[in-house]
Each structure stands twice: as C-alpha cells, then as structure tokens.
Amino acid sequence: MKVILKGNVGEVRTGTKSNNSFISFSVAENHGYFDKETNDWILKGTVWHDCTKWFANNDDKFNHYCKLIKKGVPVMITGNTSINPVEKYDEQTGEITNYQNEYIRVDDITFTLNRIENVQYKPKTSDLEKPGNETTTTT
C-alpha cells in the first residue's frame, strides 16, 4: 500500500545487510487540531511509524542522508508498507513466538522547514557540511 507520511524523525539506526546499506528511523505523526479560541495546537496523540530507506552498495546518497536524518528533523516520506517476519524467544518459558513487523519501505524523503509548511530547496554541498544547519532538501 502506498504511504505518504509527514512527521518528525525519532530514533535513527544505520547498517548494512546483503551488501546494501540502510537507514532505519521512526517518524512521529502528531494528531490534533487548532483551537481558534486559545490560538493553540491541541495535541490529541502521536503515532510512531518504523521506516527504512535502502541504498545500493557504495551509493553516495547513503552518506548524504546519514548527515541529514537526525532526531527531531521534520520530514515527509513516500513509500510502501512492507512486512518482516520476526521470531521472538522468551528466555523464561523457552517458547518462540512468530509475529510480523509492519514498516514503511521509503522511496523518497523530503526535508521540510517545519510541520506546517512544505517549503523545500536544494542546498549547496557546502551547506550540508555545516554542523547544526537547518537547511532542507529533496532528493
């Protein structure tokens, strides 16, 4: 199923599997409404989504994304839902439980300025190397 999701990045993990690199991260999707009387955003709840972006071996984009995907960064992602079979071993009972973990296999990541706006631009390479830079990009 096709997914378009907008939220803030949570925990980030990188690695390799079968000679391909990946970035796994969670995205917090906040649900709520704007109260006109108090002029405040009323948060009703947060849903966390597990996301993974795969890269071919030696793909330069992997290092580029590693610099940009950080906890708290607002993003919009597009992708598809995917399911991984998982085995969980209970040390106390010795039983193995099989279950499925649903995640979003990311096709594209857009770095947004904030949760409301979706303004984007492509930064210069020198902008990407500045620590703490709050630039946005679409790749």
Helix (H) or strand (E) holding 63: helix 60-68
Q: If residue 125 lies in a helix (H) or strand (E), which one and from where to where?
A: helix 125-128
* Model pLDDT, residue 133: 42
DSSP assignment string, 67-95: HH--TT-EEEEEEEEEEEEEEEE-TTT--
- Position 114 confidence tier, pLDDT thresholds 50, 70, 90: low
Say if pTM beats, i.e. exceeds, 0.85: no
Domains in the chain and their CATH numbers?
2-128 (2.40.50.140)
If one compares 27 and 19, the residue with the highest pLDDT of the two is 27
Q: Which of the pair, 113 or 81, is modelled with greater confidence? A: 81
